[in-house]
Structure formats: C-alpha cells, structure tokens
Amino acid sequence: MHSDHHSGRIFCTSCWPSRRKVKKEQVKAEKRPPSPETEESSFVPTKAEYAFEATKRTIDILRGAAALIGVPLVKEVLAVGLAMITTCEAVNEVQEKVAELKNRVAEFLLVIAKVGTNMDGSLTKTSQDVMEELKELKECLTSITDRLQAINDQNFILTALLPGANKKTIDKCVTAFQDGIARFQTLRGLHAAEDLSKLQTQLEDIYRIAMAMAKKVDIIGDQVHDMKSSVDELKAMMKRVDRDASIASSAEMPLPPAIFIGRDAVVNKIAGHLVSGDISRSRIFILAPGGTGKTSTSLAVMKHPSVLEKFPKERQFWVPCISAKSPTAFLAHLSRHIRVTRQTGELLDDILATLKATEESCVILLDNFETPWHPVEGKQETVRDVLRAFSLLPHVAILVTMRSEFPPLDEWVCEPLSHVEPQDSRKIYTSIDPRAAKDPKLDELLQELGHLPYAVTLMATLGKRSLSSPERLLERWNETGTDMLSKAQGGMDHSIELSLQFVADSPNAIMLLQVLSMLPAGLDHSHLDFWVPSWQPEAVDALRDAALVLVIVKETGGVEEHRLFVIPVVQSYMNQRNRIPDDIRQGIYATCCRFLDCTSPLWLVQMSPRLRAILLPSALRSSTSRPY
C-alpha cells in the first residue's frame, strides 16, 4: 500500500488552481437536513429540556437555602451562575457548545450550593479561604457571562458572516469555566476523605430544605410536569457528584483490550525502558495517528510483569488528559489523579512536593497528551515546563501517549507506532469474527483499512453483528468509507475529527490534506511545488504535528526521499461527503491528464486499481473542461 507510482516525474504547475482560501468547515461532517417530521417536532420541548429547566429551578431553591444559612457570597455566585445560564439560553449559535457550557454550569452550581451548606456562621480559617476562592470564582463566571452577552448583542449580519469567531469565543468560555472549577475543586480539596464525609452528611439536609421550599414554589407551572422530579433529579446529581469525587480522586486504570495482537515487541521494549532505572530511558513518548493503539499499548506496558514488579498498582498513576484543554486544567488533572492532598494554591508545587515526599519508584501515564499540548487557552510552554519538572525526579518514570510525529521534548525516548503487520491484522479480525477466516476478500478489506487496529476492530465487530462477509463489507466501504464505522458518538470519524481540530485554523493545511488524500501512494516532498504551488511549510508542520500526515523515508541511489503520506482511513474520510472541493479535485485530474497520456494503454495497465478508481472516471470527464 506504500508503493511508489511514477515518483520520478515532474508535474505541470500550470494545471493547478491558484492560491485560495479553503473554508475549514469543508472537512467537518456535514449535518443532514432535518426531515419535515424533525422540523415539526423541534418546536416541542424535549424531556432533556424539561429536565434542565427543572434543574435550574432547583438551583433557585438552593440559592434561597444558602441565603438562609447566612452565606451571602454563595448566593452571589449562584446568582451569577444563573445569569450565565440565562445568557446561554439567549445565544443561538454553536448550540452544542452552548448547551455543554450551560449544563456544566448548572451541575457545578449544585456543588457550590452544597459547599455553602458546610459553612457555619463562625468563619474559621478554612471558611475564609473558601470565601476568597468564591470571590475568584464569581469573577470568572462574571467574565464568561460578559463574553456570552457580547455574542448575544451582536448584529445579526455580523453573526451570520463570522460564525467561526463566535465558536472560538464559546470554546474559550468553556475552557475558562473548566479552569475556574478545576482551581476551586482542587483548592477546596473536594477529594479529601474528611471533606467528603462532611459533604455527604449535608446531602439529606439540602434535600429536606429543597423539598420544604418546593412546596411553596408555584412558579414553574406548565414548564415541567412535576416539581418533585426536579428535586429527585437534584438528589441523584448530588449523589453522583459525591460518588465521582470519592472514587475518582484517581481514575481506575483501564485494562488492556481483551484482543491485543501484534504489539508484543514494542510492549517489551517500552517496559524495559521504564524499569531500567536510567533517567534518560524512563521518560518515553508513544507517538502515532489516532486509532493506532497508543492507549492499548501503554496499558499493556503497565500490566507487563517487569513493570508491575517495580511499580505495584498503588504506585501507577493513570492521568487521562483528553479533556485538559489548558495548562490549569492539566495541572488539576494531575493533582486529582496523583492524589495530591497538599493545598498551598500553587498546583505544580503541590504536585512536585507530593511526588518528592517518598523515594519509592512510581510511574505516571499521561494518556492523550495532545490535548494539553495544544491548549485552547494558555501557553504550550507552561505544559512543557511541567514535563521538564517531572524529568528532574529520578524515581518517577513517565509514559506519554499522543497524536503527533514530534515529541515535545527531544531528549526523551520516542517510540512511534505504525499499523500492525498484515498477519496480525488478520488475527485481530478473525479473533472477533472467525467466520471470515476463509473469505478471499478479507486481505483486500484489511489493506483498505491500512491494517489500523481500531479500524480493523470496528469492521470485524460490524461484520460479526451484521453477519456480513468481508466481500459485502468491502463493497460497502467503497460506497461509504469511514461512515460505516461511525456512530453518533464515537467511531472512526470521531477519532479522525479529534485530530482535525488541531489544524482547523489553518486553511493551507486543510487544503494540503485534501490534495494528499487524493494520492493513495503519497507524494514526494520534492514534488510539492509541482502539485501544490501554494503549499506552506507551516502547513506540513501542522499536519505532521497532528499525525494526519506521516513521513516515509526511502533511500534511492544513496539519496533520501521523504514521502508525505495520509493513512488510508483518513483518505477515505476526506473523500466522503464532499470534504474535498471540486476545484481541488479538478486540479488533481487536470495535472494527471496533462502529464500522462490518458489514452495510453501502458498508463492504464501500470496504474494501481485504487488510483484508477479515484482518477480515471473524472479525469476523462475533465479532459474537455477548462484547464487550470
């Protein structure tokens, strides 16, 4: 699948479209137009909308309860939070993002109200600290509300013309809110056992107060069917908050997948690095595209006998970083999952002090590190400094997984992952669906998937559940591509889009990805000027940093060639749903036709079936079209 077709040729630059801006929305999954039935039902409040309205009314009740126990600042914070929710409801743009922020605010306000019930009239030092933290939180919520209100006050025409700007603003609001609550929760030590005990004892008191006040409130009327459901929901949410805080101070490390094939050599190698005791070897990056099995490989390493012997379970710390979108959130994740109890207000100092408190060896697994490495807010250098600080601790081994071709620190060990070998890809598939073992089309199907473990697993599972043969699945793949392996939440498309978000602000990177996705064998770097005259060095850098483009190094006649290559599943994704504009497609077709003699039988014979399927039909059509 890495074969080189006509790599020595020079392509016609005049056949390529001139420099252009490409809208980043073109690579996102388009929303299907709603059916008449859907449009009609959209005017009817859903159960989820009723549930949220009930929750908001319950917060009103809890705000009153907080006032009754004499903590006015808690009441102020709740009032600001409710104002933010109201503003969210008025903002009509980026509905999913706004809804996410609104619900997070609502749930966290329940925690704030709950903290307020722990504070009595005599302000102890702890209470004074909480009051200071509440002031900071109030300022954070006020700032976010102002940003949202600015969107709501925008001129309609401006809103329509610049939707992307508002999305960025809302993304920053979500991140700012996450940072605010992360700092509050960490400083409050909500995961400390004694504090949790105090919080738990207040649950029933809050519930009783809410029930008593609910009987006096008659303002909800037709908006919800039953006020009691809101209080019941409150109790359920509060219990979930307590449960999560008590058992998720450090998340339980997942087990490796039951079917884990083709990675024994790299697992043994990484395990050897971690237990070596050599500080220069025990800091390791696992780098690869999404779906390659980075997390599965790292979890297998943590369960390796030699690793368990040196680092028992209680000294292994798994830190999932996928939601840590800023340096502050990243530090909060570290503090929580490493079980830091020291609280000076300086998160990094507290984390380092906790790790230095013992000389026993431990290992930290930073999973999906690409999220904090590309922060929505804050500086990348701050995150790099955390890694450098950890590097100075000789008894701490560190394993990091991330989507990239570039390690954040060059001095650490780098272990890139690629696809599994074809025989291992076959074993993965047949372990899930043994019926396919003798199907003659299985190997072709696996090649189309690029032997990517996640894609193979999804396809085999689909084949097993649908009783479909590899031949039938291959036909479907050629029709729909990665769509068939994607569900509303998760799946192959979701995995690819997690990488695409890191280049969404670079039109040139998106355009280059579109071009490379039409060239199954990839493109020599030395030929970029001929195929894509408007390419920019920073676009190549961004695509490689997101592991959307890989570089394959080949040596010919003592000269190294660097080939830019897009893995097959990303190629498939990009070639679906009109994610590649017609002018770019026609530019590729025209360049091919003017370089190659389309009528030559030799050309048709030498062309790979995959390339012929992509290029030939439209190339023949474009032979009479206007040249680019």
b (16+ CB within 10 A) / e for 382-396: bbeebbeebbeeebb
Mean pLDDT of 350-378: 94
Say what the pLDDT of residue 7 is: 38
Mean pLDDT of 146-171: 62
Q: Is the pLDDT of residue 628 over 80?
A: no
Least confident among 218-222, 344-348, 405-409: 218-222
Q: Comparing 383 with 224, which gets the higher pLDDT?
A: 383
Q: Quick: pLDDT tens for 281-314.
A: 999 999 999 999 999 999 999 999 999 999 999 9
Say what the pLDDT of residue 554 is: 87
Say what the pLDDT of residue 88 is: 64
Mean pLDDT of 307-336: 93
Domain limits, the chain:
13-22+506-622, 44-190+192-247, 264-416, 422-485
Say what the pLDDT of residue 295 is: 96
Say what the pLDDT of residue 514 is: 96
Indicate the CATH number for domain 264-416: 3.40.50.300
As to burial, measured by CB atoms within 10 angstroms (0-12 exposed, 13-18 middle, 19+ buried), residue 280 is exposed
Q: Comparing 497 with 155, which gets the higher pLDDT?
A: 497
Q: Comparing 117 with 455, which gets the higher pLDDT?
A: 455
Q: Indicate the pLDDT class of residue 263, thresholds 50, 70 and 90.
A: very high
Least confident among 16-30, 261-275, 556-570: 16-30
Percentage of residues in the chain having pLDDT higher than 90: 46
Q: Comparing 498 with 49, which gets the higher pLDDT?
A: 498
What CA–CA distance (Å, rounded) separates 487 from 483?
8
Q: Indicate the pLDDT class of residue 64, thresholds 50, 70 and 90.
A: low
Q: Is the pLDDT of residue 63 over 70?
A: no
DSSP class per residue in 380-395: HHHHHHHHHHHHT-TT
Which range among 38-52, 75-89, 125-139, 352-366 has the greatest average pLDDT? 352-366
CB proximity list for 264: less than 8 A, separation 6 or greater: none
Cβ distance 64 to 115 under 8 Å?
A: no
Q: Is the pLDDT of residue 170 over 90?
A: no
Query: In CATH, what is the architecture of 13-22+506-622?
Result: Orthogonal Bundle (1.10)
The enclosing H or E element of 459 equals helix 453-466
Percentage of residues in the chain having pLDDT higher than 70: 57
Residue type, 463: G
Say what the pLDDT of residue 43 is: 37
Nearest CA to 572 out of 458, 439, 409, 425 is that of 458
First CA to last CA distance, the chain: 30
Q: Is the pLDDT of residue 216 over 80?
A: no
Q: Is the pLDDT of residue 204 over 60?
A: no
Which range among 80-84, 165-169, 386-390, 594-598 has the greatest average pLDDT? 386-390
Q: Is the pLDDT of residue 16 over 90?
A: no
Least confident among 202-211, 371-380, 553-562: 202-211
Average pLDDT along the chain: 74
Cβ distance 148 to 167 under 8 Å?
A: no
Q: Give the predicted TM-score (pTM) of the model.
A: 0.65
What CA–CA distance (Å, rounded) separates 426 from 440?
12
Say what the pLDDT of residue 179 is: 67
CB proximity list for 395: less than 8 A, separation 6 or greater: 358, 359, 360, 361, 362
Mean pLDDT of 506-535: 93
Mean pLDDT of 41-50: 39
Q: Quick: pLDDT tens for 69-121.
A: 455 566 666 666 666 666 665 555 445 556 656 655 665 665 565 555 554 44
Sheet with 559-565: list strands edge to edge.
523-524, 559-565, 550-556
Query: Is it true that 13-22+506-622 and 264-416 share their CATH fold?
Result: no
Say what the pLDDT of residue 538 is: 97
Q: Indicate the pLDDT class of residue 466, thresholds 50, 70 and 90.
A: very high
Task: Name the DSSP letter for residue 18.
Answer: P
